[in-house]
Amino acid sequence: MTNQQEEIHGLQENRIFEPPAQFKAQAAVSGMDAYNKLCAEAASDYEGFWSRLARENLDWHKPFTSTLNESEAPFYKWFDDGELNVSYNCLDRNIKNGLGDKTAIIFEADDGTTTRATYQQLYEKVCKFANGLKSRGIKKGDRVVIYMPMSIEGVAAMQACARIGATHSVVFGGFSAKSLQERIIDAGAVAVITADEQVRGGKQLPLKSIVDEALALGGCTTMKDVIVYKRTGGKISFTEGRDTWLHDLVEAQPAECEPEWVNAEHPLFILYTSGSTGTPKGVQHASGGFLLWAALTMKWTFDIKPSDVFWCTADIGWVTGHTYIAYGPLAVGATEIVFEGVPTFPNAGRFWDTIDKHNVSIFYTAPTAIRSLIKASDVDPKVHPKNYKLSSLRLLGSVGEPINPEAWMWYYRNVGNEKCPIVDTFWQTETGGHMITPLPGATPMVPGSCTLPLPGIMTAIVDEAGHDVPNGQGGILVVKRPWPSMIRTIWGNPERFKTSYFPEELGGRMYLAGDGAIRNKDTGYFTITGRIDDVLNVSGHRMGTMEIESALVANPLVAEAAVVGKPDDTTGESICAFVVLKQARPTGDEAKKLALELRNWVAKEIGPIAKPKEIRFGDNLPKTRSGKIMRRLLRVLAKGETITQDISTLENPAILEQLKEAS
């Protein structure tokens, strides 16, 4: 391995940070002995381990007798003769335990206005919402799309669906009408819950009109209801018979709603995520196993205590917002922040200011946010975290992409004041919750490494034939045993589930994460080296290169397109598109104009997050004699590096010169 590779893989990182003694003394999992004991329990009696945890951490309406059912593997079932309700476990259970007057949610609006809901108030809101949905004929098993801003109502919408056994599919508010329409059709949704507008960084942005546009695109044959939460009072149009204001829907509803008891395997939600090929996949999660892991990782990874104020900065449109906003914190009776705004408004001190304002004790964000705030505080020292108290913090977390050691150190020193452990949590939409992460009161931390799998999570690194590779040698990250919060299937496409996640090449029983990883020779610690498929990670958002390419070639001007990732200091990766137009290759101002047009086109087709940062025009793309685009060469060109690889199979070497720089 070259020095550069070693650096990337964090192998040269030899700084070790022990968990602070004070933290360790009070931690749920205290010390490596406690961690090892849990791992040993899982290793000696896997089902016994999970069945104990499921009994201890959830309230069951009908207790389960079967823990893991492997009869239809890889379609694994957990606790599948048990019955429960997720919303009951998040609300009623806490009220029964005397937490009715405890604050469940502190809503911090974009403009700094604060609204609170106690567990009792949230319970009433959710029950009225659930009754309102029922009054529209929405029932157990129906799919409901949620296209909402960050709000108490957004969380309540998810909880209300769970309460009546409807399966929600949250679509991130940044997705376009077309993406929304595709998801509504794929899920066969009967209703969309949305808001008139959303507010971000002082600007009002449309939501309801995008829903109108999505439905006008046609094909949403199952769709009957649009329910609209009034966030801004902005002007929107209303379709009689189809559209209802949320406040009208819930007004006369009773504040109690008997939960719908569902089987543990009942689909709690579908969440679309990008894969390497084809359209986004509807990742389906089950009720019991998902909630168990959401609750348990709140206790293990976040060491949640009754007095904590927990803040996960994700959006409910992503899996992080599902597990660590809508469900996990409520399942353990915590107080959490729901944040509407952006990290840079009114200035780049917003996170630090909000931590002080609400005495946040556990803060969970993405490396891309940290890196952009490092930059911002270099430019404007007033927003540097040292200008804030931040004394309420006791634990920091990171999620979404690898955190580089420099960003880790900055976070540790300046935000955590060298007193807070950092949990670098590796997981995915498909895994439902954390997989590999330090435990804050146990695991010695190494910047840039997500360290060790949680107890019961059987991760390994294998080669392409599925054989274990020794520590120190990179390979493919897999999980060798099923776990409760794992993806159950791809909605409507079980075949794709099998081929994507349990490929025959690996024996058909190992979960393929899609990431490369390497374990440290001495410590066995995992470092994630990035996706091994054509999936990009831009600001922690997953995007398939194929999706962006399809969007580009859907433009009448475009003949061909290839999209690759390019390392980016702030966003981790950025999107670089190589485009061949039907017309002659544009240059100068013409190229600039067309690049802008195509970027806006992609925003319209998928959403602004998928906009290529750079577009380069060529007369052709580098291809093999059999016509395959040589993406590895494009990746080198995107980085601005010289091609040193073998190009003997390349049909048209002259094209490389043309694609070297931005048009």
Q: Cβ–Cβ contacts within 10 Å for residue 598, how many?
A: 23
Query: Pattern 320-339, binding to ligand 6R9, x per CB under 6 A?
Result: x-------------------
Residue that has been written with the tokens 């020779």 in this structure: 521
List, as one string, the DSSP characters of 132-153: HHHHTT--TT-EEEEE--SSHH
Q: For residue 282, state whether it binds ligand 6R9 (rule: CB under 6 A).
A: no
Residue that has been written with the tokens 């939409």 in this structure: 429
Q: Tell me which stretch binds ligand 6R9 (CB under 6 A): 59-67, 142-150, 337-345, 419-427.
A: 419-427
Q: For residue 311, state whether it binds ligand 6R9 (rule: CB under 6 A).
A: no
Which residues on neighbouring strands pair with residue 130, listed in sequence order? none
The annotation status of 201 as a binding-site residue, yes or no, is yes
The annotation status of 357 as a binding-site residue, yes or no, is no
Q: For residue 542, state whether it binds ligand 6R9 (rule: CB under 6 A).
A: yes
Residue 501 near residue 540, CB atoms below 8 Å: no
The annotation status of 425 as a binding-site residue, yes or no, is yes
Beta-sheet pairing, 103-108 with 558-568 = unpaired
Q: For residue 515, state whether it binds ligand 6R9 (rule: CB under 6 A).
A: yes
Q: For residue 421, state whether it binds ligand 6R9 (rule: CB under 6 A).
A: no
Instruction: Name the residue among 465, 529, 515 with its Cα closest to residue 9.
Output: 529
Mark residue 297 as left, alpha or beta (left: phi above 0; alpha: psi -120 to 50; beta: remaining): alpha
How far is Cα 31 from Cα 571, in angstroms, rounded to an integer?
Answer: 34
User: Dihedral sign, CA of 99, 101, 103, 104?
Assistant: positive
CA distances from residue 599 to 138, 146, 455, 607 in whole angstroms, order as listed: 39, 27, 44, 10
Q: How far is the CB of 403 from ligand 6R9 (least distance, A)?
A: 7
Q: Tell me which stretch binds ligand 6R9 (CB under 6 A): 116-124, 235-243, 396-404, 585-593.
A: 396-404
Q: For residue 399, state whether it binds ligand 6R9 (rule: CB under 6 A).
A: yes
Nearest residue to the partner ligand 6R9, using Cβ: 429
Instruction: Name the residue among 427, 377, 430 with its Cα closest to residue 402.
Output: 427
Q: How far is the CB of 430 from ligand 6R9 (least distance, A)?
A: 7
Q: For residue 519, state whether it binds ligand 6R9 (rule: CB under 6 A).
A: no
**Among the listed residues 402, 421, 453, 622, the single contact to ligand 6R9 using CB under 6 A:** 402
Q: Tell me which stretch binds ligand 6R9 (CB under 6 A): 393-401, 502-510, 607-615, 636-644.
A: 393-401
Helix, strand, coil % over all residues of the chain, rounded to 5: 35, 25, 40
Q: How far is the CB of 57 from ligand 6R9 (least distance, A)?
A: 21
Q: Tell me which stretch binds ligand 6R9 (CB under 6 A): 96-104, 123-131, 426-434, 636-644.
A: 426-434
Which residues on neighbouring strands pair with residue 283, listed in sequence order? 271, 490
Q: For residue 429, state whether it binds ligand 6R9 (rule: CB under 6 A).
A: yes
Q: How far is the CB of 318 from ligand 6R9 (least distance, A)?
A: 6
Beta-sheet pairing, 197-200 with 309-312 = unpaired
The annotation status of 5 as a binding-site residue, yes or no, is no
**7 contacts: CB under 8 Å, gap ≥ 6:** none
Q: For residue 273, state whether it binds ligand 6R9 (rule: CB under 6 A).
A: yes
Residue 304: what are its φ and ψ, rounded to 5°? -60, 135
Strands (E), 211-324: 225-229, 243-245, 262-263, 267-273, 281-286, 309-312
Q: Six-digit token pair at 193?
A: 């819950």
Q: For residue 537, state whether it binds ligand 6R9 (rule: CB under 6 A).
A: yes
Q: Tell me which stretch binds ligand 6R9 (CB under 6 A): 347-355, 453-461, 534-542, 588-596.
A: 534-542
User: What do you get for the CA distance between the two ends of the chain, in Å?
Assistant: 35
Number of H helices, E strands in the chain: 22, 30
The annotation status of 515 as a binding-site residue, yes or no, is yes
**Among the listed residues 288, 333, 400, 456, the single contact to ligand 6R9 using CB under 6 A:** 400
Q: For residue 424, state whether it binds ligand 6R9 (rule: CB under 6 A).
A: yes
Query: In terms of CB distance, is 225 or 401 closer to ligand 6R9?
Result: 401
Alpha helices (runs of H) in 451-587, residue ranges in sequence order: 494-501, 545-553
Q: For residue 486, state whether it binds ligand 6R9 (rule: CB under 6 A).
A: no
Query: Pattern 435-474, binding to ligand 6R9, x per CB under 6 A?
Result: ---------------x------------------------
Residue 365: what are its φ and ψ, rounded to 5°? -145, -175
Query: In terms of CB distance, is 138 or 543 closer to ligand 6R9?
Result: 543
Q: For residue 528, state whether it binds ligand 6R9 (rule: CB under 6 A).
A: yes
**220 contacts: CB under 8 Å, gap ≥ 6:** 181, 184, 185, 189, 214
Which residues on neighbouring strands pair with residue 311, listed in sequence order? 337, 363
**Among the listed residues 359, 428, 471, 620, the single contact to ligand 6R9 using CB under 6 A:** 428
Residue 563 near residue 549, CB atoms below 8 Å: yes
How far is Cα 617 from Cα 75, in angstroms, rounded to an integer?
Answer: 45
The annotation status of 553 as a binding-site residue, yes or no, is yes
Instruction: Name the residue among 568, 580, 509, 496 with its Cα closest to residue 538.
Output: 568
Q: How far is the CB of 479 from ligand 6R9 (least distance, A)?
A: 12
How far is Cα 598 from Cα 642, in angstroms, rounded to an integer?
Answer: 27
Q: For residue 197, state whether it binds ligand 6R9 (rule: CB under 6 A).
A: no
Q: Tell me which stretch binds ligand 6R9 (CB under 6 A): 138-146, 240-248, 395-403, 478-486.
A: 395-403
Torsion of CA 265, 266, 269, 272, to 10 degrees: 70
Q: What H or E segment, with its residue span, contains residue 283?
A: strand 281-286
Q: For residue 401, state whether it binds ligand 6R9 (rule: CB under 6 A).
A: yes
Q: Tell me which stretch binds ligand 6R9 (CB under 6 A): 36-44, 46-54, 510-518, 649-657.
A: 510-518
The annotation status of 574 as a binding-site residue, yes or no, is no
Single-letter amino acid, residue 587: T
Count residues binding ligand 6R9 (CB under 6 A).
23
The annotation status of 531 as a binding-site residue, yes or no, is yes
Beta-sheet pairing, 362-365 with 309-312 = parallel
Q: Six-digit token pair at 586?
A: 């544009």
Query: In terms of CB distance, is 311 or 578 closer to ligand 6R9?
Result: 311
Q: Tell me which stretch binds ligand 6R9 (CB under 6 A): 107-115, 229-237, 374-382, 418-426.
A: 418-426
Q: How far is the CB of 59 from ligand 6R9 (least distance, A)?
A: 27
Before 346, cis peptide (omega within 30)?
A: yes
Q: Tell me which stretch binds ligand 6R9 (CB under 6 A): 38-46, 139-147, 233-241, 397-405.
A: 397-405
- Judge residue 3's burial from the number of C-beta atoms within 10 Å of its C-beta, 0-12 exposed, 13-18 middle, 19 or more buried: exposed
Q: Six-digit token pair at 95?
A: 């009220």
Query: In terms of CB distance, is 402 or 447 closer to ligand 6R9?
Result: 402
Query: In terms of CB distance, is 131 or 365 closer to ligand 6R9?
Result: 365
Q: How far is the CB of 289 from ligand 6R9 (least distance, A)?
A: 17
The annotation status of 400 as a binding-site residue, yes or no, is yes
Query: In terms of CB distance, is 359 or 493 closer to ligand 6R9?
Result: 493
Binding residues for CoA: 200-203, 320, 539
Binding residues for Mg(2+): 553, 558
Binding residues: 200-203, 320, 400-402, 424-429, 515, 531, 539, 542, 553, 558
* Residue ranges in contact with ligand 6R9 by CB under 6 A: 273, 318-320, 399-402, 424-429, 450, 513-515, 528, 531, 537, 540, 542
Binding residues for ATP: 400-402, 424-429, 515, 531, 542
